Amino acid sequence: MKNNFCLALVAAAVSVALSAQAADVTDKMLVTASTNTHEVLSSGMGSEGQRFSPLKAVNTSTVSRLVPAWTMSFGGEKQRGQESQPLVHNGKMFVTASYSRIYAIDVKTGTKLWKYEERLPEGIMPCCDVVNRGAALYGNLVIFGTLDAHLIALDQDTGKVVWNDKIDDYKAGYSFSGAPLIADGLLLTGVSGGEFGVVGRVEARDPMTGKMVWVRPTVEGHMGYTFDKDGNKTENGMTGTLNASWPGELWKTGGASTWLGGTFDPKTGLAYFGTGNPAPWNSHLRPGDNLYSCSTLAIDPKTGKIVWHYQNTPNDGWDFDGVNEFVTFDMNGQRVGGKADRNGFFYVNDAKTGKLINAFPFVRKITWAKGIDLKTGRPIYVDESRPGDPEKSADKKKGSVVFSTPSFLGGKNQMPMAYNPGTGYFYVPANEWGMEIWNEPISYKKGAAYLGAGFTIKTLNDDYIGALRAIDPKSGKIVWEDKNTAPLWGGVLTTGGGLVFYGTPEGYLKAVDAKTGKELWKYQTGSGIVAPPITWEDGGNQYVAVVSGWGGAVPLWGGDVAKKVNMLEQGGSVWVFKLAGK
């Protein structure tokens, strides 16, 4: 009798504990997020970043019946670029918006539950529009980064701030617009600001408290640290070797910002962060490879150390940020990662060692390199395609101008690609454009643009800039493409229903056949789409959602391209779709 009573007490205690935590997002849930069709728990629809859903109710036969279920406006006078991927959990959608705003919405009705808006100071310096790309979920918290370089954790139910931690000084050019990543129970984030001579880094925090656990700089010569519970820091090894690939002092303001955030593969236990341009843009000031700029870094979340690196563009001279997402997948029985780099090449690296397995162009025209040598892993440079040294000009003020493709806006930029294990293809939102670029003298000044370069973006073709491309990572072939007049700037979703969803600046959310690229459905959302779609199922229905709102870097820096997009209207809303009828 006594034993039974004890057992009943234990059972009751377990039951209370379970119900209290039922809504909490756990590490276990995040590790299996890519196969959970009922929720969207992380950016990338799983920390590997494949953006694949096995859902099939919406498929090549039924997609023509897709109709809006609800839409919600972000409201206010603030619009500009909306690059956010929504999250879905516990009956709520969490979505960030421009100007560091976040909303919780009833996922069934579209009713706003709460909203948080960061009071941004005057003088923030986001280089490329006031965007945010999404949040992370952990425990009962939803966590996002702000344009004044803070991380903010809010209670999922109430929207109340639980913790708020400063990343760095926005007056020095720091900001953060990427979606935070949860890896191994830690909150991993990067920094933006490569155009202002910040020093890139990856930071790990306790997601429940915001307390720093480790920091790993991404420029050689800078010291890494671990932190104890009281915030006392201990040296954790220098990044790289001082002056090995950076001469003199320039590494102290060396860029390599980690502005897009990272991915995490539970199978390798490694987090992958891409790094941006070395600063300044004028490459003649910093001869050498300039590690670890324009690279993929594999970091062990347990130690905060770089396990391997692969540099896509050594001694970058074109602002070819290598921040693009490293998406892990299985190929020929091997765990590998794919990356469509801003420099126009698609790379496949071993996910455990970084060894280069394949590299090929995913855009039609590349001027800066003839190819990538698979033996050495290095680009075969075209020397005359590097903008000239101003020191060699008559007045030492402007180096020779070169025409370069891709432009610095990239063969691909922030918009995430998707991988479908059914077709074996990556779906890459690519752009064809070039630039005139030249170098100028420059010296570092805190809070000022640190480029030493000038540029004008140019179109290459009359009929299109954007092209959604299905790419075979084994053969390196472009299997099909779907061209678009304006540059593509939104992400991609692919599904077990044989579909690829993506948005256009012209305002359409489109569904095309994953095997052939044939357009099967489109819907006009009222403003340009520069964000990635998601899908989930609830109550027997499959839903598809995307944020609409034109903006981002193109209208700011587009040069001649602006003529193709300056008629597009701003906006800010979430759209949710489901199948009409039975």
Q: Where are the alpha helices (DSSP H) in 74-135?
A: none
Contact between 270 and 307 under an 8 Å Cβ cutoff? The reply is yes
In 472-540, which ranges are E strands?
478-484, 492-495, 499-503, 508-513, 519-524, 534-538
Minimum CB separation of residue 302 from Ca ion in Å reads 30
Q: Which is nearer to Ca ion, 194 or 354 (CB)?
A: 194
Count of Cβ atoms closer than 10 Å to residue 141 Cβ: 22
Helix (H) or strand (E) holding 161: strand 161-166
Minimum CB separation of residue 120 from Ca ion in Å reads 22
Minimum CB separation of residue 194 from Ca ion in Å reads 4
Q: Hey, which residues does 310 pair with through a beta bridge?
A: 296
Minimum CB separation of residue 257 from Ca ion in Å reads 7
Minimum CB separation of residue 51 from Ca ion in Å reads 24
Residues 451, 283: Cα–Cα separation, whole Å: 10
Q: Which is nearer to Ca ion, 43 or 275 (CB)?
A: 275
Contact between 162 and 114 under an 8 Å Cβ cutoff? The reply is no
Minimum CB separation of residue 197 from Ca ion in Å reads 11
Identify the residue whose tokens are 């539970």: 266
Contact between 545 and 577 under an 8 Å Cβ cutoff? The reply is yes
User: Which listed residue (319, 321, 350, 513) is catalytic?
Assistant: 319
Residue 549 phi/psi, 5-degree rounding, is 160, 105
Minimum CB separation of residue 52 from Ca ion in Å reads 29
Q: Which is nearer to Ca ion, 262 or 276 (CB)?
A: 276
Q: Which is nearer to Ca ion, 194 or 491 (CB)?
A: 194
389 included as an active-site residue: no
Bond before 387 cis per omega within 30 degrees: no
Minimum CB separation of residue 556 from Ca ion in Å reads 13
Contact between 266 and 200 under an 8 Å Cβ cutoff? The reply is no
Write out the two tokens for 208.
């429940």
Q: Which is nearer to Ca ion, 93 or 202 (CB)?
A: 202
Helix (H, G, I), strand (E, B) or coil at 65: helix
Minimum CB separation of residue 342 from Ca ion in Å reads 9
Minimum CB separation of residue 582 from Ca ion in Å reads 50
Q: Which is nearer to Ca ion, 276 or 497 (CB)?
A: 276
Residues 382, 391: Cα–Cα separation, whole Å: 20
Q: Which is nearer to Ca ion, 79 or 177 (CB)?
A: 177
For residue 136, give every residue at least 6 positions away whose Cβ sits within 8 Å of its Cβ, in sequence order, or none. 42, 43, 142, 143, 144, 179, 180, 181, 182, 187, 207
Write out the two tokens for 31.
């590790």
Contact between 261 and 133 under an 8 Å Cβ cutoff? The reply is yes
Residue 260, exposed/middle/buried by CB under 10 A (0-12, 13-18, 19+)? buried
Strand order in the sheet with 508-513: 52-53, 492-495, 499-503, 508-513, 519-524
Residues engaged in binding Ca ion (CB under 5 A): 194, 276-277, 319, 321
Q: Which is nearer to Ca ion, 168 or 319 (CB)?
A: 319
Q: Which is nearer to Ca ion, 104 or 453 (CB)?
A: 453
Minimum CB separation of residue 433 from Ca ion in Å reads 16
- Report the residue closest to Ca ion, judged by CB: 277
Q: Residues 433-452, buried b or exposed e (16+ Cβ, 10 A)?
A: bbbbbbbbebeeeebebbbb
Contact between 131 and 552 under an 8 Å Cβ cutoff? The reply is yes
Residues 164, 467: Cα–Cα separation, whole Å: 40
Contact between 413 and 342 under an 8 Å Cβ cutoff? The reply is yes
Q: What angle do CA 282, 283, 287 make, to 5 degrees?
A: 145
Q: Tally the residues of the chain.
A: 582
For residue 37, give every residue at least 6 positions away whose Cβ sits within 8 Å of its Cβ, in sequence order, or none. 53, 54, 55, 536, 537
Write out the two tokens for 108.
């069934």
**Closest by Cα among 294, 287, 288 to 273:** 294
- Active-site residues: which are they? 319
